[in-house]
Structure 1
Amino acid sequence: MKNGCKRFASARAALFAILLLSLPSEVVLAQESSLDEPPFEQQLMRLSEIFGALHFLRPLCGENDTPSWRDQMEDFLDAETLDENRRRRFIERFNQGYRGFSVAYRDCTDAARIAMGQYLSEGETIITDVTSRYGR
């Protein structure tokens, strides 16, 4: 494959991953919304999705995080979920984030590194916002 074709395929894969993560999220967000959930629930669902994306992207790009993003997700689930249905929704969002990138990337690309940076930033923003507004 020529360089131009590789770049196009890489850009197309990145766009596909972003579409997989953004479009279903909006649909899932609308379906999951309920009157009895905490006001920050959708932010935590998004955070679960970000953990899944980072669990795929960071090792792909040679980052060896300890604890792993999966381990961080387990800690998050232990701290945040008592209800089994809620736990399953968080796990599904984690898996959705992971799968969204695993179908599009086989190698670490510039687009993967950019996405990784954006997810780290977004995750930090969510954590800061939720803890500052709703912290116990």
Structure 2
Amino acid sequence: MRIAIFLLAATLALAAGPASAAGPTEGAPPPYDPDLMRLAEILGALHYLRPLCGVSGEAQKWRGEMQSLIDTEQPSDTRKAKIIASFNRGYSSYAEVYRICTPAARFAVDRQLEEGSRLAHDIVVRYGGN
């Protein structure tokens, strides 16, 4: 699970980065905000698709990963609502299309895992420990 490893690293990087040191603010979003929003959307998609495709033991895994990012990021209420909306958009966009696991759903899972891993890695490399 490359994405889980990168999510852990991204969580640690965000915790060590300047955004969390300053605490939640209503000012400008951090520079990694678009990546974080997309990552939240991917986590929502995986939260729906992985159990649908019979991956046992992951019923709450991706929701838990999202909660860990929120806990680490400690966003303002407004920003937290945006992050949650991104997660929900990822979940619902696939729930509207897939009722059963199909080859296309499996392909979507693979794509989401790859993109999520890349985003989490990029967040760590660009913004971790700054």
- Report the TM-score range of the alignment, normalised by the length of the smaller protein: 0.7 to 0.9
Gap runs ≥5 in structure 2: 1-26
Q: Name which one, 1 or 2, has greater alpha-carbon Rg.
A: 1
Of 44, 50, 57, the match for 2:49: 57
Q: Which moved more, 1:44-53 or 1:57-66?
A: 57-66
The 1-side partners of 2:126 and 2:77 are apart by 25
> Does the alignment pair 1:98 with 2:83?
no
1:83 equivalenced with 2:76 (yes/no): yes
Q: What's the C-alpha RMSD, in Å, of the aligned pairs? A: 1.4
Give the drift of 1:67: 5.7
Q: Which runs of 4+ in 1 moved over 3 A?
A: none
| TM-score computed with the length of structure 2 as normaliser | 0.75
Partners of 2:38 and 2:74 in 1: how far apart?
A: 15
User: Normalising to structure 1: TM-score of the pair?
Assistant: 0.71
Residue 124 in structure 1 maps to residue 121 in structure 2 = no
CA distance in 2, matches of 1:47, 1:36: 19
Instruction: Tell which has more relative contact order, 1 or 2 (C-alpha 8 A, sep 6+).
Output: 2
C-alpha distance in structure 2 between counterparts of 1:112 and 1:89, whole Å: 26
Q: Which amino acid aligns with 2:32?
A: F
